[in-house]
A = this chain, B = another copy of it.
Amino acid sequence: MGREPVDFSLWLQERVEHIEGVLEQVLPSAETVPEGLHHAMRYAVLGGGKRVRAALVYAAGEASLQTGSEASAQRIALDHAAAAVELIHAYSLVHDDLPCMDDDALRRGRPTVHVKFNEATAMLAGDALQPLAFELLGLMPIAPALTVQATQLLARSAGSLGMVGGQAIDCGSVGHALTGDQLQQMHRMKTGALLEASVLLGGIVAGASSATRAGLESYAGAIGLAFQVVDDILDVTSDTATLGKTAGKDAAENKPTYVSIMGLDGSRDLLRSLCDQAHSALLPLGPSAAHLAGIANYIVDRDR
């Protein structure tokens, strides 16, 4: 965490604790019928995770707020949007860990949902987290036209031309050679789409001008890719205890990664240029984009 100023770390920590409280509240209690399903949904979502997507929603919201707008309604709306992207992310991890996909037993240092419960419950928990995300967007106290825009964006980023499409390409690529372009396309969909959506959702909810939205899009594209490049580097350079998930898995499965295609040094060079692109895109937004800049550094410098 070398490059992060102290105030960013404090801000991020405060946001992570805040979104945890929001998620606690929006998830049905473990005493609500069907109890087992709700228990699994809460286990999948709460008590872990870096909450990068939620932080992006909040930071993009800060960078986009118009003076004179209804601050308290927008704060609530940002909470809903941040919770929605975290729910989509959490559901994708639950399904990704299932035996028919990555068959992973460890996530965030704990047993995965299908190991802790069972496969059927894990699948259903993921299936139920997804509509809850759309329900939360519908509860945002903002202009309905903005809610519709936000719903469209989240739906597209989560679908077959976004996150799930990227996962399908990833599944189909095991043991196959991908070109650098194909790998980039896959990651733009698999990880980039939802990270980008998080940034843009913050902008939409806070009523960003079209100039601000353009800056957010360029920033989001860069950090979306950077995130995956770091993941690939960490899979090679880190260990299971630090990652909280199985290290070295990509190489063991002969999965194409940035490191396998462009080497460790090439991957680090790409990472630096993506980080520069992200910071340049934020310049026109001025000082209110400071936390977005902090998240870019955080993504690049993280060790898990």
Chain A residues with a Cβ under 8 A of chain B: 28, 32-34, 36-38, 41, 92, 95, 98, 100-101, 118-121, 123-124, 126-128, 130-132, 134-135, 137-139, 143-145, 147-148, 151-152, 154-156, 158-161, 164-165, 167-169, 171-172, 185
Contacts and interface: CB of A to CB of B under 8 A. Distances in A.
A140 B154 CA distance: 16
Given A130-B130, A144-B145, A160-B128, A34 B151 contact: no
A33 B165 contact: yes
Instruction: Count copies of this chain in the complex.
Output: 2
A164 B100 contact: no
A100 B128 contact: no
B128 A165 contact: yes
Contact of A135 (B36, B156, B171): B156
A145 B28 CA distance: 25
Given A119-B100, A131-B158, A135-B156, A124 B171 contact: yes
Given A161-B28, A164-B128, A120 B134 contact: no
A168 B95 contact: no
